[in-house]
Amino acid sequence: MKTIDLRSDTVTEPTPAMREAMARAEVGDDVYGEDPSVNHLQAMAAEMMGKEAALFVPSGTMGNLASILAHCQRGDEVIVGDKAHTFLYEAGGISALGGIHSCQLPNQPDGTIAIEHLHAAIRPKDIHQPPTRLIALENTHNRCGGVVLSPEYCWQVAEFAKEQGILTHLDGARIFNAAVSLGISAKELAEPFDSVTFCLSKALCAPVGSLICGSQPFIERVRRVRKQLGGGMRQAGVLAAAGIVALETMVDRLAEDHARAKRLAEKLNSAPHLILEPGSPATNMIFAQLDSGCPVTTKKVCEALKERGVQVGAIEPHRFRIVVHYWIDDNAVDVAANAFWEVLKELSH
Ligand code: TLP
């Protein structure tokens, strides 16, 4: 039995059109800059984000790491949210590999960092303190519930950063989910930032890869950092080919995932002991919690769901993350909702 896998949109496998494009891809040595498919993908990405240039990297984690390393020197400080992917889930790479200090400010439930907190966190010019070099935001914000940051807020942060002589980076792993949800272009969401990374291998279904976008000189520095990290790939055109199909065909359809996430959330709404987080789902992720009267933890529920062929994320003892993606159709929504109801009924007494 193939499971209905709602743990993440990273589980998405390439579509038949992607596999076909991969098989037929024109390739070259990308470390020499000679892979036509990679070059085409990078040009598309730069255009879609409204930046001068782009660079293909193996993962979102490397995209954020290489961007931050290219913006900062050892001993500089980057401001991140305390629920940011870069802070929580990137194995401390910026510190371990770059000697970059992070200042974590509270992420509010809507994924933003309060401007007054940013203000208070800027370091004075003082040899005792690491200079604040960069502010990094995330859109959609994963751990805050897949919520969307508005362009107005992003401009507010960018203008503040500019006044302070600080750079800005956006972890836009799911920027297209944010753009589709707002009904605007990804370019509009990327515009305030000096650099943006976005992922092909999440809701867009490509098997591998992320793009870093920014100014030409920044991308030249990132290219060197990517080499230092061992991320310079050779005939990467086979991967880029899937990415091109992803950008051409998978962006507009994201609204379907958002609608299915809503439908699934509605079905789960009154399930025993389950409380949907306010506003959830904002995009393709449902966040729900077990109430304090529930006799079991999310881990136990996940085990029972798995026996019924459904997988969801137990991201905390009482908190689930349920992610809808291309391979989840209406039937999968029904099956998953029924399994949830059955398991919760069974485990609650
Ligand atoms: N996130 C993964 C896990 O690491 C949590 C997921 O399942 O959602 N930025 C954001 C906002 C992300 O959510 C992720 C992946 C990344 C960066 C890293 O991307 P990869 O996995 O390609 O390194």
Question: In the structure encoding, which two tokens stand for residue 271, read together?
Answer: 């399930």
In the reported structure, the alpha carbon of residue 148 is separated from the centroid of ligand 1 by a whole-number distance in angstroms of: 16
pLDDT at 64 over 90: yes
The residue among 1, 7, 3 whose CA lies nearest residue 286 is 7
The protein residue whose alpha carbon is closest to atom 20 in ligand 1 is 60
Question: In the structure encoding, which two tokens stand for residue 297, read together?
Answer: 């933890």
Report the pLDDT value the prediction gives residue 1, as an integer from 0 to 100: 59
In the reported structure, the alpha carbon of residue 207 is separated from the centroid of ligand 1 by a whole-number distance in angstroms of: 14
Mean pLDDT of the chain: 97
Residues of the chain with CATH 3.90.1150.10: 253-347
Pocket of ligand 1 (CB under 6 A): 8, 10, 59-61, 85, 89, 138, 142, 171, 173, 199, 201, 210
pLDDT tens digits, one per residue of 120-174: 999 999 999 999 999 999 999 999 999 999 999 999 999 999 999 999 999 999 9
In the reported structure, the alpha carbon of residue 202 is separated from the centroid of ligand 1 by a whole-number distance in angstroms of: 8
Report the pLDDT value the prediction gives residue 157, as an integer from 0 to 100: 98
> What CATH number does domain 253-347 carry, 3.90.1150.10, 3.40.190.10, 1.10.357.10, 3.90.700.10?
3.90.1150.10
The number of helices, as runs of H, and strands, as runs of E, in the chain is: 14, 13
Residues of the chain with CATH 3.40.640.10: 12-249
Which residues touch 193 (CB under 8 Å, ≥6 apart)?
137, 154, 158, 168, 169, 170
C-beta of residue 239 within 8 angstroms of C-beta of residue 202: no
pLDDT at 349 over 90: no
DSSP 3-state helix, strand, coil percentages of the chain (rounded to 5)?
Answer: 45, 15, 40
In the reported structure, the alpha carbon of residue 8 is separated from the centroid of ligand 1 by a whole-number distance in angstroms of: 9
- The residue to mutate among 140, 199, 257, having the most atoms of ligand 1 within 8 angstroms of its beta carbon, is 199
Gap between the Cα atoms of 132 and 187, Å rounded: 26
C-beta of residue 347 within 8 angstroms of C-beta of residue 300: yes
Gap between the Cα atoms of 100 and 66, Å rounded: 12
State the closest ligand 1 atom to the C-alpha of 171, by its place in the atom list counted from 1: 9
What is the percentage of the chain residues whose pLDDT exceeds 70?
100
AA identity, residue 69: L
Cα separation of the two ends of the chain:
28
C-beta of residue 139 within 8 angstroms of C-beta of residue 105: no
User: Which fold, 12-249?
Assistant: Aspartate Aminotransferase; domain 2 (3.40.640)
Count Cβ atoms below 10 Å from residue 262 Cβ, excluding itself: 17
pLDDT at 47 over 70: yes
For residues 324-340, one letter each, b for 16 or more C-beta atoms within 10 angstroms of the residue's C-beta and e for the rest, the string is: bbbbbeeebbebbbebb
Q: What average pLDDT score do residues 55-78 get?
A: 98
State the closest ligand 1 atom to the C-alpha of 138, by its place in the atom list counted from 1: 11
Report the pLDDT value the prediction gives residue 42, as an integer from 0 to 100: 98
For residues 5-40, one letter each, b for 16 or more C-beta atoms within 10 angstroms of the residue's C-beta and e for the rest, the string is: bbbbbeebebbeebeebbeebebbebeeeebebbbb
Task: State how far the alpha carbon of 312 is from the alpha carbons of 88, 174, 300, 303, in Å.
Answer: 20, 19, 12, 10
The residue count for the chain: 349
